[in-house]
Amino acid sequence: MTRPNNRPDAVVLGIESSCDETGVGLVGLHADGSVELLADAVASSVEQHARFGGVVPEVASRAHLESMVPMVRKAFADAGLRPSDVDAIAVTAGPGLAGALLVGVSAAKAYAAALDRPLYGVNHLAGHVAVDTLEHGPLPSPSLALLVSGGHTQLLLVEDVASSITELGSTIDDAAGEAYDKVARLLELPYPGGPPIDAAARRGDPTAIAFPRGLTGPKDARHDFSFSGLKTAVARWVEQRQAAGEPVPVDDVAASFQEAVADVLTAKAVRAARDHDVRTMVVSGGVAANSRLGRLAAIRCAEAGIELRIPRPRLCTDNGAMIAALGARLLAAGAPASPPDFGADPALPVETILL
Ligand code: KG4
Ligand code: ZN
What is residue 337's DSSP assignment? P
Sheet of strand 35-44: strand arrangement: 35-44, 21-29, 10-16, 88-94, 119-123
Chain centre distance of CA 242: 35
Pocket of ligand 1 (CB under 6 A): 19, 149-151, 177, 180-181, 192-195, 198, 285-287, 289-290, 317-318
Which pLDDT value is given to residue 109? Answer: 98
CA–CA dist 323, 326 (Å, integer): 5
Q: Residues whose CB is under 5 A from ligand 2 (ion)?
A: 149, 318
b/e 281-306 (16+ beta carbons within 10 angstroms → b): bbbbbbbbbbebbbebbeebbeeeeb
Which phi and psi (to 5°) does residue 154 adopt?
-140, 150
> Which atom belonging to ligand 1 lies closest to the Cα atom of 181?
14
Which pLDDT value is given to residue 121? Answer: 98
Task: Give just the sign of the alpha carbon dihedral 281, 286, 287, 292.
Answer: positive
Ligand 1 atom 16 nearest Cα: 286
CA–CA dist 311, 321 (Å, integer): 12
Ligand 1 atom 20 nearest Cα: 194
Q: Which helix (H) or strand (E) holds 164?
A: strand 164-170
Looking at the CA of 316, name the nearest ligand.
1
Residue 181, annotated as binding a ligand: yes
pLDDT in tens, the chain (355 residues): 444 557 899 999 999 999 999 999 999 999 999 999 999 999 999 889 888 888 889 989 999 999 999 999 999 999 999 999 999 999 999 999 999 999 999 999 999 999 999 999 999 999 999 999 999 999 999 999 999 998 899 999 999 999 999 999 999 999 999 999 999 999 999 999 999 999 999 999 999 999 999 999 988 899 999 999 999 999 999 999 999 999 999 999 999 999 999 999 999 999 999 999 999 999 999 999 999 999 999 999 999 999 999 999 999 999 999 999 999 999 999 999 999 999 999 999 999 999 9
Cα three-residue angle 168-142-284, rounded to 5 degrees: 65
SS3 content of the chain, % helix, strand, coil (to 5): 45, 20, 35
Angular region, 334: left φ>0, alpha ψ -120 to 50, beta rest: left
Which pLDDT value is given to residue 298? Answer: 98
Ligand 1 centroid distance, CA of 188 (Å): 17
CA–CA dist 148, 350 (Å, integer): 14
Which pLDDT value is given to residue 51? Answer: 84
Which pLDDT value is given to residue 345? Answer: 98
Domains of the chain: 10-131+319-332 (3.30.420.40), 143-314 (3.30.420.40)
Ligand 1 centroid distance, CA of 21 (Å): 12
Q: Judge contact between 129 and 158, C-beta under 8 A.
A: yes
Ligand 1 atom 26 nearest Cα: 290
